[in-house]
């Protein structure tokens, strides 16, 4: 029987309903494009049997081969993304993905470059869907990173998002666009609103990144002229996540134990520090207790 817990995102001390992610228990400095590729330290993990086993990561090229999506996703077959500066999003996504894959492979990671149609039940240590943004307002700029609403790896998901965000911002210097959309959180490749086909496993940590706005001249300068920085930011974020995966696993396992002891079969995990747990949703409600990142609560 699988347990479930919710991962609470907290902003300014108040619980936001849009930051809930329900979990089902699961098995267990950048270089410029005109310089040398960044050196990334090898990352391997020891399995429980004998020899070292490399991590596996799936990098999905947003909109690539979308015409080949199965019938259950036919409504997305015409989705070819945005464009700007004389380039299409698919072209940019493929370029960034290939560069990031090369860096990860050099660090000892097994990388699957995936099209729009991902293998049903795809299992890996991380999955990142790589996209770019567009907007009729040319002043819109910055990158966005998000994960799914419901997950079998909720704490892993949030850890991956935070790791990617920190590394990507440092590598590119691009601004963070905090306006994460429902379409990002409900991205078809890791959500079930269009069924289970061509959807990764619940136990695969997942994130989607909008690397910047192709409709922004400011963002295009980084995306087009310093693409190695963009790729290095993604690769570093993934590697940092993999290097800290055991710590995240310990927190997730603790939350699963709390869920197993809960009458609802669920628990909540806190992903920020010093969170006020109030008597109601009101900002003026009395504080019943304080919680910190990694705390596991009966839900």
pLDDT digits 0-9 by tens, 84-119: 999 999 999 999 999 999 999 999 999 999 999 999
- In this predicted model, which residue has the larger pLDDT, 153 or 105? 105
- For residue 125, CA distances in Å to 24, 87, 160, 243 come to 17, 32, 10, 11
| pLDDT tops 80 at residue 7 | no
| pLDDT tops 60 at residue 6 | no
CA R_g for the chain: 19
- Among residues 83, 90, 62, 104, the alpha carbon closest in space to that of 231 is found at 104
pLDDT in tens, 278-296: 888 788 889 888 888 888 7
| pLDDT tops 50 at residue 166 | yes
| pLDDT tops 90 at residue 69 | yes
Bridge partners of residue 133, in order along the sequence? 213
Once rounded to an integer, what is the mean pLDDT over residues 174-188?
Answer: 95
Alpha-carbon distance of 271 to 162, in angstroms, equals 10
Once rounded to an integer, what is the mean pLDDT over residues 140-144?
Answer: 98
- In this predicted model, which residue has the larger pLDDT, 149 or 70? 70
pLDDT of residue 106: 97
Q: Tokens for 278?
A: 């109030």
Q: What CATH number has the domain spanning 48-248?
A: 3.40.630.40
Q: At what angle do helices 154-172 and 245-260 cross, to 10 degrees?
A: 150
pLDDT of residue 42: 67
Q: Tokens for 198?
A: 């061509």
| pLDDT tops 60 at residue 78 | yes
Exposed, middle or buried by CB within 10 Å (0-12, 13-18, 19+), for 193?
Answer: exposed
| pLDDT tops 60 at residue 43 | yes
pLDDT of residue 41: 62
**What confidence category does residue 232 fall into, taking pLDDT thresholds of 50, 70 and 90?**
very high
- In this predicted model, which residue has the larger pLDDT, 249 or 65? 65
Least confident of 75-79, 153-157, 241-245: 153-157
pLDDT of residue 50: 40
Once rounded to an integer, what is the mean pLDDT over residues 24-40?
Answer: 39
**What confidence category does residue 44 fall into, taking pLDDT thresholds of 50, 70 and 90?**
low
Q: State the CB neighbour count (10 A cutoff) for residue 47.
A: 9
| pLDDT tops 90 at residue 242 | yes
Mean pLDDT of the chain: 84
- In this predicted model, which residue has the larger pLDDT, 41 or 39? 41
Under 8 Å between Cβ of 222 and 172: yes
Question: 133 in helix, strand or coil?
Answer: strand
- Among residues 182, 194, 117, the alpha carbon closest in space to that of 146 is found at 182
Alpha-carbon distance of 59 to 42, in angstroms, equals 18
pLDDT of residue 45: 62
The sign one gets for the Cα dihedral 192, 180, 252, 127 is positive
**What confidence category does residue 62 fall into, taking pLDDT thresholds of 50, 70 and 90?**
very high
- In this predicted model, which residue has the larger pLDDT, 276 or 228? 228
pLDDT of residue 226: 98
């Amino acid at each position: 029987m699988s347990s479930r817990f919710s991962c609470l995102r907290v902003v300014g001390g108040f619980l936001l309903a849009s930051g809930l992610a329900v979990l089902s228990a699961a098995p267990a400095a950048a270089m410029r494009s005109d310089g040398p590729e960044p050196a990334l330290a090898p990352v391997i993990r020891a399995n429980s049997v004998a020899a070292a086993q490399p991590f596996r990561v799936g990098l999905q090229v947003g909109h690539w081969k979308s015409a080949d999506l199965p019938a259950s996703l036919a409504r997305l077959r015409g989705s070819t993304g945005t464009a700007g500066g004389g380039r299409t999003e698919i072209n940019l996504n493929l370029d960034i993905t290939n560069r990031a894959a090369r860096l990860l492979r050099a660090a000892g990671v097994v990388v699957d470059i995936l099209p729009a149609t991902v293998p049903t039940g795809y299992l890996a240590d991380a999955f990142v869907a790589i996209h770019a943004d567009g907007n009729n307002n040319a002043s819109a700029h910055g990158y966005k990173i998000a994960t799914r609403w419901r997950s079998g790896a909720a704490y892993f998901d949030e850890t991956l998002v935070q790791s990617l965000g920190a590394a990507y911002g440092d590598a590119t210097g691009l601004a963070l666009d905090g306006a994460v959309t429902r379409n990002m959180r409900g991205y078809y490749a890791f959500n079930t609103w269009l069924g289970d086909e061509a959807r990764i496993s619940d136990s695969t940590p997942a994130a989607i990144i909008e690397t910047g706005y192709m409709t922004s001249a400011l963002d295009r300068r980084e995306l087009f002229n310093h693409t190695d920085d963009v790729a290095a930011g993604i690769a570093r974020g993934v590697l940092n996540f993999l290097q800290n995966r055991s710590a995240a696993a310990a927190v997730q396992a603790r939350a699963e134990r709390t869920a197993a002891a809960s009458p609802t079969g669920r628990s909540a995990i806190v992903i920020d520090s010093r969170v006020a747990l109030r008597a109601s949703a009101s900002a003026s409600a009395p504080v019943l207790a304080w919680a910190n990142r990694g705390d596991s609560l009966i839900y």
